[in-house]
Structure 1
Amino acid sequence: MSTLSSIIDTDMNLSVTPELLKSLTPELLQIFTSPELLKGLQAFFSFIGNGVDIQGIFDLEDAFANQEVRAAQITYLKSIPEIAQIFEERYIGPTYNVEELIKLPEDSLGYAYASNIKAVNYPAGFYPKVEVLDDVSYYSLRMRQTHDIWHTVSGYGLTLFGGVGITVFQYAQNRDPLGAILLAGDILNNIKMHRDLDTYMLIVHEAYNVARQAKPFLAQKWEEAWEKPLAEWRAELNVAPVTYREPYLPLAAA
């Protein structure tokens, strides 16, 4: 384990001394004096060692909230007219009940989404709440609300390969810095675990291309058309079928 990762994994009151702070570059000083950035750094090291976890994702998202790269991402998103409209409206969407959605026709978005949620036993609104104060916090809330809808419509389901696919898909569509960090941590974890990276990179390549040819998911008001057939949503948004679904296994088991 590196010196830096050893430091951030211990009691900060004991580890961060005035002498240490004086020795840090401005970039590292910013990390060690920001609880959000420190938690984000801890999450990244955890991803390398143990794989991506949901709480770590939220910690990293908080770490990027006030960074210039997040502001640049929002500027890019608002340069797309239909997404700019969503930001202007601060569209949230009506509340819904998964038990009601599962009663919709089996070809509908609502049924497919509810089936995915129930299959992994996710509780409604499991993600941390976000108070909308600006464009960044609105983006964070909207993505937390609709992340699993993106899984459903893109075809990258709530599976091991689907997690990789949707991370790349969201990065490609939104230029989300969080996606770049998640991907980096996951690739490093795969190296550590001696997994087959060839299949992994096929998923990455395909997901990026599918996302770039699809229309903006962030601009969609999914909650107003749960009953619309999933196939119709995909056709309207120009979503190509997913090809690579194979798991990326340890090399010894391949």
Structure 2
Amino acid sequence: MTESLDAKQKREEALLSAFLEMVRSPDGDFGVIDRLAAASADLESLQLMIQSLSRHPQGKLAFATYPRVGVVDLEQLALLPSHTLGYTYAQHMIKNNLKPLQMKPSNNDYEFLGAHITETHDIWHVITGFETNIIGEIQLEAFYVSQMRFSRFWLALITKNLLKTVVYDIERSTEYMDAIAQGWLLAKHAQPLFGIDWKLLWEKPLTELRDSLNIKIL
């Protein structure tokens, strides 16, 4: 179904409004992030993203089976050996005062796409070695843009950070550009992360997982 001109204009206005609101907001304002995510989730780009991700066998299987992380017990994961993914993830979450997000069940490809990306975000932080500070977030944003084509949301986040340097903090422009390049290049050489059933891998050695995914920590 082709989007009407009026609907397209309204979508563009909503996206621009959410984008400018985020530029003016402090980093880490999750309410603004949610509004940008909603405004950037147009059907056309989501369909293109799903088609692109489904070209890889792992992504194709994920859209057929909808693997979810499910309930995560950080205390139990923290009891695993220190070299495992589960232990490292638990320490990452505890250190940053974060809690695993509980998402609703997936009933279609669009719901699965959003839920899977959301609930695996901090797992991707651990796998890539990117911190949760602004530089680490920019690195991971660039990683997402490289691995998940047609994502208006992640591209908007990178653009937001660059625009913030133009308006508020030009001294950090080189640092931000380096972070973008680092995340982009790491993703280009890495195996796809989307669609991995991470709950089956908690007990796996983190270095072994990184090697299998061709992720070379900076």
* TM-score above 0.5: yes
Deviations 1:186-214 (A, max 9, x none): 11112112232112111111110110110
- Contact residue 72 and residue 100 of structure 2 kept, 8 A: no
Distance between the aligned counterparts of 1:70 and 1:56, measured in 2? 20
Deviations 1:76-97 (A, max 9, x none): 1111121111111111134220
- Contact residue 67 and residue 195 of structure 2 kept, 8 A: no
- The reply to whether residue 31 of structure 1 matches residue 11 of structure 2 is yes
1:211 counterpart (176, 180, 187): 187
- The reply to whether residue 200 of structure 1 matches residue 180 of structure 2 is no
Residues 93, 120 of structure 1: alpha-carbon distance in 2 compared, 3 angstrom cutoff: closer
- The reply to whether residue 177 of structure 1 matches residue 157 of structure 2 is no
- Contact residue 103 and residue 111 of structure 1 kept, 8 A: yes
- The reply to whether residue 142 of structure 1 matches residue 122 of structure 2 is no
Which structure 2 segments of 5+ residues have no match? Answer: none
Residues 240, 29 of structure 1: alpha-carbon distance in 2 compared, 3 angstrom cutoff: same
Distance between the aligned counterparts of 2:179 and 2:161, measured in 1? 13
1:228 counterpart (194, 204, 208): 204
| Deviation at residue 222 of structure 1 after TM alignment | 1.3
| Deviation at residue 136 of structure 1 after TM alignment | 1.4
Distance between the aligned counterparts of 1:101 and 1:153, measured in 2? 16
Question: What is the aligned-residue RMSD (CA, Å)?
Answer: 2.0
Distance between the aligned counterparts of 2:41 and 2:139, measured in 1? 23
Residues 29, 186 of structure 1: alpha-carbon distance in 2 compared, 3 angstrom cutoff: same
Q: Which residue of 1 aligns with 2:100?
A: 124
2:166 counterpart (172, 177, 191): 191
Distance between the aligned counterparts of 1:139 and 1:165, measured in 2? 21
In the alignment of these two chains, the number of paired residues is: 211
Q: Which residue of 2 aligns with 1:62?
A: 38
What SS does the aligned partner of 2:194 have? helix
Deviations 1:210-253 (A, max 9, x none): 101101111311111211111111001000112xxxxxxxxxxx
- Contact residue 130 and residue 140 of structure 1 kept, 8 A: no
- The reply to whether residue 45 of structure 1 matches residue 20 of structure 2 is yes
Q: Which has the higher contact order (CA 8 A, sep 6+)?
A: 2
- Runs of 4+ more than 4 Å apart: none
Q: Which residue of 1 aligns with 2:62?
A: 86
Distance between the aligned counterparts of 1:50 and 1:43, measured in 2? 10
Deviates more, 1:59-68 or 1:165-174: 59-68
- Contact residue 70 and residue 177 of structure 1 kept, 8 A: no
Given the two structures, how large is their TM-score scaled by the length of structure 1? 0.76
Which structure 1 segments of 5+ residues have no match? Answer: 1-24, 243-254
- Contact residue 47 and residue 186 of structure 1 kept, 8 A: no
Deviations 1:159-180 (A, max 9, x none): 2211111111111111222111
Among all aligned residue pairs of Structure 1 and Structure 2, give the percentage whose two residues are the same amino acid. 25
1:74 counterpart (50, 57, 69): 50
Q: Which residue of 2 aligns with 1:160?
A: 134
Distance between the aligned counterparts of 2:76 and 2:85, measured in 1? 13
Given the two structures, how large is their TM-score scaled by the length of structure 2? 0.88
